[in-house]
Structure 1
Amino acid sequence: MKTVLCYGDSLTWGFNAEGGRHPFEDRWPNVLQAALDHSVRVIAEGLNGRTTAYDEYNAGADRNGARILPTIVMTHTPLDLVIFLLGTNDMKPWIHGNPVAAKQGMQSLVETVRSHDYGWPTPQILIVAPPVVSHTENVEFKEMFSGGEASSKHLAPLYAALAEEMGCCFFDASTVATTTPLDGVHLDAKNTRKIGEALAPIVCAMLETKETFRG
């Protein structure tokens, strides 16, 4: 059986801007799973507020994606593919607010996966740029992601260049999904499903399991 780890933030967790959490079947990792047969297992590891590699001290959980990644990977080893969908929270001014910093954080995640001593073959890596931050009248989120509309637009080209440099695959989620104006950051059910649907053929090609794709 092939195993895929989806490592992300609230977009992977399934945060619903209307309140609560999207139903299980609408979260993109589960949409991806539904597009594959039982020869591929998809594991969703999403945490609200997770960054690529930076600390967030006003949270009850460790949101530094780089620090917790080795534990997550070792928990689920052996893995065939790791999908990273992170970077939005790096755009918070008090985190970093700089897309170049997000790129450097993403690079550290890739290096961690490739340098860790698993005792198993190193998994492939797919870097996914999150949908760009959009305009919102939600006062809290507007301030929380101040400057995010402009800075988040640079994530996709920076991630694409990083993927080429490091021999990873890349996908820009903004090509299929847009964030909701309710908060400018999260996705409605339709758009989170679009990400899972778009990633299915890419994952199949990477795992060389095209016959398992149900799309």
Structure 2
Amino acid sequence: MKTVLAYGDSLTWGHDPEREGLRHARADRWPSVLQAGLGEDVLVVPEGLNGRTTSLDDWSAPCDRNGARSLPVVLGTQMPLDLVVVMLGTNDLKPRFGASAHTAYQGMRRLVQIVRSFPYKPVEAVPKVLIVAPPPCGPSDNGHDSDRRVPESQRFAALYAQLAGEEGTGFFDAGTVARPSRVDGVHLDAENTRAIGAGLVSPVRELLG
């Protein structure tokens, strides 16, 4: 059996914008949909955390949201792994972090480096990486729009595709299959969350061989 780690933020955790603070049903979260599409020969391990960034500290949080700092713990817990799917960057655009897609691009590069340099057992069992660009943010009905967040989030796909080419990883643009809810302009309803899982089945199968 092959093992896939789904590493992300609230979009991976399954945050339901219609029910603030609550999650979509397990079957509606994209890692579960990906699991169903891949079948019993592959195990998808969901690792989503609300507010997780690629590599930035958020000292207002009740737990460590720095993705670069927590990733080695997750890799050590879940190894051996065949593939690490990373969908992060949206939280890097929070105003207090400076709202830069390029910051997320740099943070994502660091995550790729961490995956490849971790001391796995067996040592040759280095997993492949699939970089996923989160769906761009959109207008919201709650008045929490950011002048920079929406256009910066629209840069994710091009920057992450460039990074995938530079680092030799897989790439998938979740914005081609999903759009955020107008409730907050960031999170996804169940249909769009499921669409990401379905869209990832083919690229994940290809990387797993």
| 1:18 matched to 2:18 | yes
Give the counterpart of 1:124 among 106, 125, 128: 128
Question: Which residues of 2 match residues 33-112 of structure 1 at below 5 A?
Answer: 33-112=35-114
Residue by residue over 1:96-141, the C-alpha shift from the partner in whole angstroms, topping out at 9 and shown as x without a partner, is 31111100000000000101111231100000000001011312x3
Structure 1 gaps of 5+ residues are 209-215
Equivalenced residue count is 205
Asked if the contact 1:55–1:95 (Cα under 8 Å) also holds between the matched residues in 2, the reply is no
Shift of 1:70: 0.2
Superposition TM-score, scaled by structure 1 size: 0.93
SS at match of 1:35: helix
Equivalent residue, structure 2, for 1:212: none
Question: Which residues of 2 match residues 160-175 of structure 1 at below 5 A?
Answer: 160-175=161-176
Cα RMSD over matched residues? 0.8
Residue by residue over 1:146-168, the C-alpha shift from the partner in whole angstroms, topping out at 9 and shown as x without a partner, is 42111111111000000000000
1:14 and 1:137 map into 2 onto residues whose CA distance is 20
Q: Match for 1:122: what amino acid?
A: V
Asked if the contact 1:134–1:185 (Cα under 8 Å) also holds between the matched residues in 2, the reply is yes
1:163 and 1:94 map into 2 onto residues whose CA distance is 27
Shift of 1:207: 0.7
Asked if the contact 2:35–2:42 (Cα under 8 Å) also holds between the matched residues in 1, the reply is yes
1:197 and 1:157 map into 2 onto residues whose CA distance is 22
2:111 and 2:203 map into 1 onto residues whose CA distance is 20
SS at match of 1:94: helix
Residue by residue over 1:183-210, the C-alpha shift from the partner in whole angstroms, topping out at 9 and shown as x without a partner, is 00000000000000010011111111xx
2:81 and 2:29 map into 1 onto residues whose CA distance is 21
Superposition TM-score, scaled by structure 2 size: 0.96
